[in-house]
Amino acid sequence: MLPAYFALGISIVLTVVSQTLQKKVADDFARAGAASALSFYFRRIAFWLAMAALGGAMLSWLFVLSAMEVSRAYSLLSINYVLMLLVSRFIFKETIPSNRWLGVLALLGGILLIVRS
Amino acid sequence: MSVAISASQTLPEYRKGLLCAIASVILVSIAQLAMKFGMAHVAIEALRALHSWSELSAALLQLPLSTAVLPVAAGMLCYGVSVFCWMAALGRLPLNLAYPLLSLSYPLVYLGAALLPFFNEALNAQRLGGIGLIMFGVILLMLKTKS
């Protein structure tokens, strides 16, 4: 059971890292006003790191699914929604209106209801 | 339903961002269903018993093309395209709005699995309640606020 939780932790961390890098590259592109998104992305190291992290997250997730109950795995994976709000707040300095926190709380409840049914 | 717009964003860009995010979620959901459909036709147990790359590649070549290989490949392609839709959304929306929208894939996948003939999964009251709660959460996310 322990390796499964370890792999789940890796999967969550890599997902957060990948999303953070994707947001960074997307913001850089929006600010640069370059013509072609693809050629802009492909020249960024951050983009390739984001894709590598995404691939790693998928591989470790496949391992998690083979080693842990699916409902438990998906329930724990939804920690991502809270972590990404923290990334928005503290890394991207976004102001998070209270309705967003409440919205995320509601959809976390919905995900729990679905995956545990 | 009105949506929140911060001072730095123009309305057309914001709408484009929402459309890109929704397109990305739909692509991810199609990918999930296609890969699930394809993998159901792969004898996982047979693959597990293989011990060498040559045996594995021989087994992979024998997989049924239309019911296993093409759906899984199409699913992977959808995933790939969804990444670029997603980044187009991220450049136009605050992360604290964009990321939670990914949860829309749960209702889409469950409705797809219930409505498409192959999957035939039952939609019980608890699942419908969960889908409703996610939709309620997404509406809350998009409500206009004074901040």
Give residue limits of the domains in chain B.
Answer: 11-142
Higher pLDDT: A114 or A106? It is A106
Residue A60 confidence class, pLDDT cut points 50, 70, 90: very high
Residue B49 confidence class, pLDDT cut points 50, 70, 90: low
- ipTM of this model? 0.92
Chain A interface includes B67 (CB < 8 A): no
Residue B47 confidence class, pLDDT cut points 50, 70, 90: low
Ranges A78-82, B2-6, B107-111: which has the least confidence? B2-6
Q: Is the pLDDT of residue B17 over 90?
A: yes
Chain A interface includes B140 (CB < 8 A): yes
Q: Is the pTM of this model over 0.90?
A: no
Q: Is the pLDDT of residue B16 over 70?
A: yes
B136 vs A63: CA distance, rounded Å: 32
Chain B interface includes A27 (CB < 8 A): yes
- Interior/surface letters A90-113, b for 16+ CB within 10 angstroms, e for the rest: eeeebebbebbeebbebbbbbbbb
The per-residue pLDDT for B1 is 41
Ranges A25-29, A34-38, B52-56: which has the least confidence? B52-56
pLDDT in tens, A82-98: 999 999 999 999 999 99
Subunit contact B94:A51, Cβ cutoff 8 A? no
The per-residue pLDDT for B2 is 46
**Nearest Cβ partner of A110 from B86, B92, B133?**
B133
Subunit contact A110:B127, Cβ cutoff 8 A? no
**Where do the structural domains in chain A lie, given as residue ranges?**
2-115
Residues of B in contact with A26 (CB under 8 A): 87-91
B76 vs B90: CA distance, rounded Å: 21
- Among A12, A23, A93, the strongest candidate for a mutation testing the B interface, having the largest count of B CBs within 10 A, is A23
Contact A43, A103 (CB under 8 A): no
For residue B117, the distance in angstroms to the closest alpha carbon of chain A comes to: 20
| Residues 6 or more apart whose Cβ sits within 8 Å of residue A32 | A40
For residue A34, the distance in angstroms to the closest alpha carbon of chain B comes to: 12
B62 vs B68: CA distance, rounded Å: 10
Residue B4 confidence class, pLDDT cut points 50, 70, 90: low
Subunit contact B96:A96, Cβ cutoff 8 A? yes
